[in-house]
Chain A
Amino acid sequence: MTSEAPAIARPTQDGSRVPFELFTRQDVFDREQETIFRGPVWNYVALEAEIPQPCDFKTSFVGDTPIIVSRAEDGSLHAFVNRCAHRGATVQRQACGNVRQHRCVYHQWAYNARGELVGVPYRRGVAGMGGYAADFDPKEHGLQKLRVASHKGVIFATFSPGTAPLEDYLDTPLIEAIDRLFSRPVKVLGHMRQRVRGNWKLYAENTRDPYHAALLHGFHATFGLYRTNQKRKGGADRARAHSTGVTYGDDWRQASMGNVEQDKVVAGYSLADPSLLEGRPDFNDGVTVQITSVFPGLVVQQIMNTLATRQIRPKAPDDFELYWTYFGYQDDDAEMTNTRLKQANLVGPAGLISMEDSEAIELIQRAIVRDGREDSFLEFGGLNADLDKDRTGEATIRAFWRYYAGLMGPSPIAAEP
C-alpha cells in the first residue's frame, strides 16, 4: 500500500484566497521548479554591467538551479547550468571573474565561455588504457544551455523553448519602467544579500502590496517617501503576471499629511543629520519610488537615489535568498556616488525602510506550519478593482496568484492514479 500525498488546494479563481500549504509543501516547491522557473517565463539572472568584458562570468540561479552567466569572446551572452556534464560537480566555484575556460576540478573537464566542452583529459587514453570510444562527441557533452535575452542590459534566461520573446513577455508598461532606469549605462556599486526563512512567493506578494507600505514601514511614512495618500500610477502586462508602480513623493520637510492618521508616522521625528535624504533627483518626473516586479523573481527599484535589482532565489519551501544588485550610472560624479552609498542605508537587509519586509515574511512562515487549507485573505480594494487605476489595494497580488495558478495547472499536485 502506498500513501500518496493529498492533492493540494488551489488559490480561488479570483486570487483572493490562497491556501497556506502553497507556502509550506515540498511537492509544491518541486512542481514550481518545473512548471514555473523552468517553464515559459524569463528569469532575471544578472546585469550586463556585471560582465562587461569578453570572458567575464557571474554565477547565478534560475529557481534553485545554479547557472553561469557568461559573455563569450565575441561579446554574445550565454547562460548554462553550473553542473559538470561528466559527473555532476559544480564547475565554476567563484561568484564572478574572467576566464576563457570553466574547468571542473574533479576530472578537469573544461568548457568555454559558451558552455561547450573543449577539454577532456586522457580522452584518447594513456598507453592503450582508459580514454573514450572513438565516437565520443564533445558536442553532446556541453553544459546544459538556457536561452538568453537582454533588454537594456538586464539579462534574462529561460529553460523553455516555448517562452515568448522577452519584449512580449514583459509588455509595454514593464518595458517602459525598465527603460526609465536603464536609459543610461549603469555601473554596479555592490551587492547585498539576506537569507529569509520564508517562502519565495511571500516576497513576490510583498512587492505587489501597496497596502502594507505606509503601515509597516515607519521610516518610509515619517519622511514622506511613501504615504497612503500620495499620487500613484501603475501598470501591468496583458497577462497580469507583472506589476509596476510609481509614487510621486513629497519633499520630506513639507510632506502633506492629509487623511492618513493610520499611517505609521513617528511624531516629532526629524533627522539630526539630514544628509541622508539630501540627494538630487535622477529624473525630472517627481517620482520618489518606483517598484517593478517581473514574474517570477525580479524586482527593480528606485527609491530616491537608490537603484537596485532584487533577485528572489528560492532554496526550499521555507527558505529563500534575496540578492540585491545595487547600481548607479557610469556618468555619476563623486557626489552622486556618495549619495547613493549613503542612501543604501534605506534599503537592503539593514534598510531603514526595508528591514521590516523579511520580518513580516518570517512571521507568516512561522505561523502557518499547520492548517494548510486555511487561507490568506486578499480582498483589500475590492474584487472588481481596476488593476491599472487602484494602486492602493491588493489587486496586483490577486493577479499574481491567478497567473501562478495558470502555470501550475488545474490540479497542481494531483495524486497519481
Chain B
Amino acid sequence: MIAATSEAYGAICALEYRYARLLDDDRLEEWPNLFVERGVYKVIPRENLSRDPPLAIFFCDSRAMMQDRVRSLREANVYNLHYSRHVVSNIEVLSDRNGTFEVAACYTVYQTDLEGQTRLFGVGQYRDVIALADDELRFREKIAVCDTFNIPNLLAIPL
C-alpha cells in the first residue's frame, strides 16, 4: 500500500518548506496562518519526552497564542540579533487517515549573527499532524523535539 499519493507528499513538502522560508524571511506574522485555528505548536526538549505530559519550553495551543508570541517578539522581547536558517529534511509520511497526515521530518537550524558568523543552533525532529483546512494543508499540530535541548543562549524565533 502506498501511504500517501505523490501529489499529497508534494503538498506536504511544500508546506514544510514554506514554514521554514517564512521564518527565515522574518515573516513571523504569517507563521500562525500555517496552522489551523486551534493548532498546537510545542518545542519539547528530548530529555522531557519520557514524562507524561512532557514539559515544553514553547507552548501554543491556538493560532491566537502564536500571534501573541509574535507580538511579544516584535515589541516586548529582546533577543540575540541574527538571521535564522531552517533546513527541513527527511520528510516522511507515517500515516494517512482520510486526509489527515502524520508526518515526521528533521530540522537543522543555523543562526548567523550580524558579523556574518554562523553557528549551528540546534537539530531535532518535527512530529506533525497535517490536514486540509480552508482549502489548504495546515498544521493541526507541530511538535519540535529538540536533540539540542541545551539551548544556546535563548530561543526566540520558533524552530
Q: Which residues of A contact B (CB under 8 A)?
A: 95, 189-197, 216-219, 222, 264, 266, 269, 271-273, 275-276, 321, 326, 337, 341-342, 344-345, 348-352, 355-356, 358-360, 362
Q: Which residue, B43, B51, B65, B77, has most C-beta atoms of chain A within 10 A?
A: B77
Query: Known contacts being A222-B76, A359-B78, is A349 close to B57, with CB within 8 Å?
Result: yes
B65 contacts A195, C-beta separation under 8 Å: no
Query: Known contacts being A272-B68, A341-B59, is A190 close to B45, with CB within 8 Å?
Result: yes
Taking CB as reference atom, which chain B residue is nearest A271? B68
Distance of A222 Cα from B152 Cα, bound (Å): 27
Contact of B75 among A193, A269, A276, A348 (CB under 8 A): A269
Distance of A163 Cα from B111 Cα, bound (Å): 44
Contact of A189 among B47, B55, B65, B78 (CB under 8 A): B55
Q: Which residues of B contact A (CB under 8 A)?
A: 43, 45, 47-48, 51, 53-62, 64-65, 67-69, 71-72, 75-80, 149-156
With a cutoff of 8 Å between Cβ atoms, the chain A residues found around residue B48 in the complex are 190-191
10 residue pairs of the A-B complex, CB under 8 angstroms, read A190-B45, A190-B54, A193-B149, A193-B151, A195-B153, A273-B62, A276-B65, A342-B61, A350-B151, A356-B78
Q: Which residue, B43, B54, B62, B78, has most C-beta atoms of chain A within 10 A?
A: B78
Q: Which residue, B56, B68, B69, has most C-beta atoms of chain A within 10 A?
A: B68
Distance of A360 Cα from B152 Cα, bound (Å): 14
Query: Known contacts being A197-B153, A344-B57, is A218 close to B78, with CB within 8 Å?
Result: yes
Q: Which residue, B75, B79, B156, has most C-beta atoms of chain A within 10 A?
A: B75
Distance of A216 Cα from B76 Cα, bound (Å): 9
Distance of A359 Cα from B75 Cα, bound (Å): 16
> Assuming A197-B153, A273-B65, A351-B57, what are 10 further A-B pairs, CB within 8 angstroms?
A192-B45, A192-B55, A218-B76, A218-B78, A219-B72, A341-B55, A342-B59, A345-B60, A349-B153, A350-B151
A359 contacts B154, C-beta separation under 8 Å: yes
Taking CB as reference atom, which chain A residue is nearest B55? A190
User: In whole Å, how far is B80's beta carbon from the nearest beta carbon of chain A?
Assistant: 5
Distance of A347 Cα from B79 Cα, bound (Å): 14
Q: Which residue, A217, A218, A275, A359, has most C-beta atoms of chain B within 10 A?
A: A359
B68 contacts A273, C-beta separation under 8 Å: yes
A344 contacts B55, C-beta separation under 8 Å: yes
With a cutoff of 8 Å between Cβ atoms, the chain A residues found around residue B61 in the complex are 275, 342
Query: Known contacts being A195-B153, A196-B153, A350-B43, is A341 close to B77, with CB within 8 Å?
Result: no
Distance of A348 Cα from B65 Cα, bound (Å): 18
Distance of A194 Cα from B153 Cα, bound (Å): 6
With a cutoff of 8 Å between Cβ atoms, the chain B residues found around residue A349 in the complex are 57, 151, 153-155
B65 contacts A275, C-beta separation under 8 Å: yes
